[in-house]
A and B are shown apart, each in its own frame.
Chain A
Amino acid sequence: TQLLEQSPQFLSIQEGENLTVYCNSSSVFSSLQWYRQEPGEGPVLLVTVVTGGEVKKLKRLTFQFGDARKDSSLHITAAQPGDTGLYLCAGGETSGSRLTFGEGTQLTVNP
């Protein structure tokens, strides 16, 4: 079983601050997906990274996949209250069809 360690579990910051969320594993993943989930809703895909070393930007969000495809990070610049939610990383098995989810990071951005 492949495991993904996500940190921090909880993060409460002020509007305008920057933050980084990490997902780490000793296993290699074929891909890494990041989702955001708001209360009362299902997770929504933010990005998929597939190539080692890949960097993708989505407005104020920057996603990076480690060179060895074992880790990933999500960096948010100038956080806003609308960024509040549960952020989940999910790694695709190199063989098989399972997604392994990290434990999630509950982000609260205070105005």
Chain B
Amino acid sequence: DTEVTQTPKHLVMGMTNKKSLKCEQHMGHRAMYWYKQKAKKPPELMFVYSYEKLSINESVPSRFSPECPNSSLLNLHLHALQPEDSALYLCASSLSPRPPNSPLHFGNGTRLTVT
């Protein structure tokens, strides 16, 4: 079982809908990440939160809006998405934001379909 929990597992939404993806970890990790993954491709970094502050935004369109209410929770708010945004959205956490000492712990993702 993964220690990073993502909900929902699957989500189908129309292009005019507003929805949110949720991620939770209780490992005391201080860095949390959103990745987008297309089939048979590597994860693409979207956002990094370090100590609850947004530290990296990889030029993600504003229809994706991240939020980190506290050190254990990470949300991704979705609005006016396009069909090409359909993908697996992965949340990850690490003890610190420095890769050498902090491997990523991934959740099992939310499979998003935009119709």
Residues on A facing B (Cβ under 8 Å): 30-31, 33, 35, 40-45, 48, 50, 86, 88, 90, 92-93, 97-99, 101-104, 106
Contacts and interface: CB of A to CB of B under 8 A. Distances in A.
A30 B45 CA distance: 19
A98 B100 CA distance: 10
B99 A42 contact: no
B98 A97 contact: yes
A48 B42 CA distance: 18
**B31, B48, B106 interface centre (most CB from chain A within 10 Å):** B106
A86 B97 CA distance: 24
Given A42-B106, A45-B104, A98 B40 contact: no
Contact of A97 (B43, B56, B103, B107): B56
A97 B4 contact: no
B43 A43 contact: yes
Contacts of A104: 40-42
Given A33-B103, A48-B100, A90-B99, 19 more contacts: A30-B100, A33-B104, A40-B108, A41-B2, A42-B2, A42-B108, A42-B109, A43-B43, A45-B104, A92-B98, A92-B99, A93-B99, A97-B31, A98-B45, A98-B56, A101-B43, A102-B42, A104-B40, A104-B41
A106 B40 CA distance: 7
5 contacts: A31-B99, A97-B48, A97-B55, A99-B45, A99-B104
Contacts of A31: 99-100
6 nearest interchain CB pairs?
A92-B99, A42-B106, A101-B42, A31-B100, A97-B97, A45-B103
A35 B103 CA distance: 10
A90 B90 CA distance: 16
A42 B103 contact: no
